Amino acid sequence: MPNALTSADITTIVDLHNAYRASNGIAPLQWASNIADYAVSWATASATYPQCINTTYPHGEFGPNGEYGQNIASSWGDSPSYPVDQLTSVTGLIKGWSGEAIPQSPGSYNQATQMLWGATTSIGCAKVNGQGCNVLVCDYFPRGQQWNTVGGKLGSMGSMITGIGTDTRLYSKNALDGQWTKDKSSAGLIDLIKVPTGFVGVAPDHTLWSATSLTGAWSLGLNGGWNHVPNSGAVFDISALSDGRILGVGLDYQLYVKPDLYANWQYIPNSGSVTRAKQQPDGSILGVGMDKTLWKMQTLGSGLTYVPNSCCVLSIVSYSL
């Protein structure tokens, strides 16, 4: 079935999302036609059901749609999930989503939080007419509904701090002076980083695991928790580079890089020996040597040079003032 959205509808959808995000201090979204194509496929499937509600999978949890967050609304006869004038009016529909109360506790989310998700950058939507019903689907990428990636003003959406305990389990707090709470995840990790699609962790056996959220168990797979990453290693320290690659410190204390999460590690020549490595704002790599001094690599593979007056540290973090 064709997408019934007009170019004016698309403009309205994007503008309303971005106005709502701006009011909460969150960066704007961009329209993505390829995401809209996925939304068309799910809206078309939903439109074949009575009242345009896919009772088997109400949202696109599986297949390609599983990579996206999703808001959905349907209208039929005299019993709409949203009033008919809201579904025929894109403005009314979007305001129906943004009118939902923003949850104030970790693990709680709704259609408003997906509209506001800080990590989400792109949106694509579709409206399809079924037999006596209508359905509108908006897909979002990267997907939201993982509390730890919510963006926005502190106090309106909140923020989270997650740490690895001495038992290798994950603990989180929603304020710096708050109490640590053990996460539901049964993951045991020795390192953890945030990536656009979720999280990547180093397990005690020095292999990589990925997750879209921090609330699931190892056995639940990518959508429910953690999933083993093939070709992952052995590394004990990882960090995300600005171009999306992953930098790792191997058990031989040499540097390795992954072009993407599922690619093989590539050895970086002239890179040893370091125990930690982090990219700096200027793109250079700063490492902690075996003697606890700092060493700098201007570009990957260019060789490490000693940083004077740098002894003695175990780890480093860089930030802009």
Distance CA 228, CA 240 (A): 18
pLDDT at 119: 74
**What integer pLDDT is reported at residue 107 of this predicted model?**
56
For 187, other C-beta atoms within 10 Å of its C-beta total 22
Q: Please tell me the predicted confidence (pLDDT) of residue 151.
A: 34
Strands of 181-182's sheet in order across: 161-164, 170-173, 181-182
Residue 39 vs residues 34, 112, 125, 180, 213: alpha-carbon distances, Å? 9, 18, 6, 39, 23
Q: Which residues contact 8 (CB under 8 A, 6 or more apart)?
A: none
- pLDDT for 187 equals 67
The pLDDT of residue 55 is 62
pLDDT value, residue 163: 83
Cα-atom radius of gyration of the chain, to the nearest Å?
23
Domains of the chain, with CATH numbers?
7-141 (3.40.33.10), 161-306 (2.130.10.10)
Distance, in Å, from the CA atom of 58 to the CA atom of 258, rounded to the nearest integer, reads 36
What are the E-state strand segments in 77-169? Answer: 122-129, 133-141, 161-164
Residues of the chain with pLDDT under 70: 1, 51-67, 75-88, 103-108, 144-160, 174-175, 184-187, 213-225, 319-321
What is d(CA 236, CA 219) in angstroms, rounded to the nearest whole number?
Answer: 22
> Could you give phi then psi for residue 15, rounded to 5 degrees?
-65, -40
Q: What is the pLDDT of residue 133?
A: 78
**pTM of this structure:** 0.50
Angle at CA 225, nearest 5°, toward 245 and 253? Answer: 40
Q: With beta carbons less than 8 A apart as the criterion, state whether 225 and 218 touch.
A: yes
